[in-house]
Amino acid sequence: MVAKYSAGITSVRLWFKEFKQCLELYHEGYTIVEIKQASDDENIFQFSSTARARRSSRNLTQRLAALPDDVVELFPALDIENQKLVALLSIMLLNQFVNEFMYEVYRDELIMGDRTLEDREANAFLMRKQVENEQVAAWTEQTGKRVLGSVKGMLRETGLLERHGDVDRVNQAFVDRRLAEALVQNNLSKELAALQGRV
């Protein structure tokens, strides 16, 4: 796992349909190299341009490679809600900002029972990271807003956030027992706690 703070998350979406297709190809026997080549040659994920297809396929295959093997193997047996959680997990494993947002903001909302994420709470998290980390401190105000917007957009697509007026309602994730066990076995208990909203 190579987690890092990166503003590059602003150019990434959950891309669940494409992520699922990537894993399906992998299960069919395609290698990561072959998936990238197929995207380059045939735009199999149907992105809007050749350049975007190339960048996006690199992101998708990085996310696949970041997942533990048994989570990848389990993926087809999961329901769509848990497959979306795996898609989010793959991003959490590559981006420290997303990982810590899930643990320090999403998880806390569930533990505290408030279940309402206001913009000021997300902004407070960003300000805290700017104090703690030089990379995040170097982001412009606009970049910080775009990063937060991207993260919240992913959580909405996953179903963990639901916009109501000026706030987001925080929805509880129901993690499949088999997925929970796989995360524990792969030393991802912190990520599991973040997804489940548990101590």
> Does residue 3 have a pLDDT over 90?
no
User: What is the predicted pLDDT for the residue at 143?
Assistant: 96
> Does residue 1 have a pLDDT over 70?
no
pLDDT tens digits along 84-128:
999 999 999 999 999 999 999 999 999 999 899 999 999 999 999
User: What is the predicted pLDDT for the residue at 90?
Assistant: 98
Q: Which amino acid is at 168?
A: D
pTM value is 0.95
Backbone dihedral angles phi then psi of residue 116, each to the nearest 5 degrees: -130, 115
129-153: buried (b, 16+ CB within 10 Å) or exposed (e) per residue? Answer: beeeeeebeebeeeebbbbbebbbb
pLDDT tens digits along 139-193:
999 999 999 999 999 999 999 999 988 889 999 999 999 999 999 999 999 999 9
Backbone dihedral angles phi then psi of residue 163, each to the nearest 5 degrees: -75, 130
Domain boundaries, the chain: 13-90, 95-196
Distance CA 99, CA 33 (A): 27
Distance CA 28, CA 49 (A): 26
Distance CA 169, CA 114 (A): 9
> Does residue 82 have a pLDDT over 70?
yes
User: What is the predicted pLDDT for the residue at 122?
Assistant: 96
